[in-house]
Amino acid sequence: MGALTGKVAIVTGAGQGVGRCHAELLAAEGAAVVVNDLGESADAVAAAIVANGGRAVAQRGSVTDWSAAEALVQRAINEFGDLHILVNNAGFIRDAMSFSMEEQQFDSVVSVHLKGHFAPAHFAAVYWRNQAKVLEGTEGGLPQRRIINTTSESGLFGGPGQGNYGSAKGGIITMTTILARELGRYNVTVNCIAPRARTPMTEVNPKFTKPESGFDKYDPANISPMVAFLASDHASDINAQTFIVLGDQVHRIRPTEIANSLTGGDKQWTVEGLAAAKDQLFGGSPSGVPAWGGPPM
């Protein structure tokens, strides 16, 4: 029996790359999987899972399309009778510096990541809330539900040339916390991963090249065990958390917290007062652009 036997999962953008690996591992762990992507790559991945003895169907459609997102959630329910796990993964990059970015580059990337995460989550939440009304207090209680979102190190640390992508990915971390606060009462946990792997999105970078021997650090399949773990009942106490996942590494990100505070003694601050208290606010910490906080390549 796999860690996800009896569960029903959706993976968005699962026609290739990291999403494909998630869909394959979730299926290998026993989940029935709805494989989403824009076109026929979704069909191919679903067919490969079925050929391997797993349960999967393809659902083509854009995660930025509100009604396609509704149809995606409905497909899981119609096909497999329920929905337990939503893995929001679909996305693309259109990098440019702020002074070169075009409107379409900005809008499309913000949409695919932010709306493309929110729209499936919205329809999953509608279903789970309605289900909770029916199931609450019954003998079986509420099933465990999961959303696993996909951010990026650019969203955590701010990648230059990614004012569209990094901002949207940062928003996904906040969206994760918001959804976790809203949906906990329906037995839903919401967590977030920042993967780093060799995929069509990153393979132009020679640092991701597969080594001739030894551990293939940037094999996209290295990311998926963390997703399957977060999707499983083992992770029922993990909520609103973010992890960087690459190779053999999992890094937990410390939640945002207040570092230092000033209080004005029931008086409005003045500019001069803030200037004088500046060192106290930083408490010896650097006050400029923070160092990149991600693990080395």
Ligand X SMILES: NC(=O)c1ccc[n+]([C@@H]2O[C@H](COP(=O)([O-])OP(=O)(O)OC[C@H]3O[C@@H](n4cnc5c(N)ncnc54)[C@H](O)[C@@H]3O)[C@@H](O)[C@H]2O)c1
Q: Given the residues 7, 169, 186, 217, select the one marked as catalytic.
A: 169
Half-sphere exposure of 142 (CA within 13 A, CB side): 20
Answer yes or no: 169 catalytic.
yes
From the list 36-44, 233-241, 264-272, 276-284, the region that binds ligand X by CB under 6 A is: 36-44
Helix 224-231 vs helix 17-28: crossing angle, to nearest 10: 50
Q: Which of residues 130-159 bind ligand X (CB under 6 A)?
A: 150, 152
Distance from C-alpha of 63 to C-alpha of 55, rounded to nearest angstrom: 22
Residue 280 CB, shortest distance to ligand X, in Å, is 37
Q: Which of residues 65-124 bind ligand X (CB under 6 A)?
A: 89-92, 112, 116
Any contact of residue 224 with ligand X (CB under 6 A)? no
Any contact of residue 54 with ligand X (CB under 6 A)? no
Q: Total number of residues binding ligand X (CB under 6 A)?
A: 30
Residue 215 CB, shortest distance to ligand X, in Å, is 17
Cβ atoms of residues 173 and 192 within 8 Å? yes
Cβ atoms of residues 50 and 28 within 8 Å? no
245 forms bridges with which residues in the sheet? 195, 250
Closest among 31, 46, 35 to 1, alpha carbons compared: 31
Residue 58's contacts (CB-CB under 8 Å, 6 or more residues apart) are 34, 35, 36, 37, 42, 43, 45, 46, 47
- Residue 62 or 176 having the CB closest to ligand X: 62
Q: Is 30 exposed, middle or buried (0-12, 13-18, 19+ CB in 10 A)?
A: middle
From the list 15-23, 95-103, 224-232, 271-279, the region that binds ligand X by CB under 6 A is: 15-23
Among 19, 166, 170, 171, binds ligand X (CB under 6 A): 19
Distances (CA, A) of 279 to 44, 256, 260, 268: 58, 21, 10, 19
Distance from C-alpha of 36 to C-alpha of 155, rounded to nearest angstrom: 24
Any contact of residue 13 with ligand X (CB under 6 A)? yes
- Residue 12 or 187 having the CB closest to ligand X: 12
- Residue 111 or 144 having the CB closest to ligand X: 111
Q: Is 54 exposed, middle or buried (0-12, 13-18, 19+ CB in 10 A)?
A: buried
- Residue 30 or 294 having the CB closest to ligand X: 294
- Residue 29 or 37 having the CB closest to ligand X: 37
Q: Which of residues 180-219 bind ligand X (CB under 6 A)?
A: 194-197, 199-202
Answer yes or no: 165 catalytic.
yes
Distance from C-alpha of 152 to C-alpha of 195, rounded to nearest angstrom: 6
- Residue 164 or 232 having the CB closest to ligand X: 164
Among 38, 221, 240, 277, binds ligand X (CB under 6 A): 38
Q: Given the residues 7, 154, 165, 218, select the one marked as catalytic.
A: 165
Residue 261 CB, shortest distance to ligand X, in Å, is 33
Distance from C-alpha of 287 to C-alpha of 155, rounded to nearest angstrom: 20
What residues act catalytically? 152, 165, 169
* Interacting residues toward ligand X by CB under 6 A: 12-13, 15-19, 36-38, 41, 62-64, 89-92, 112, 116, 150, 152, 194-197, 199-202
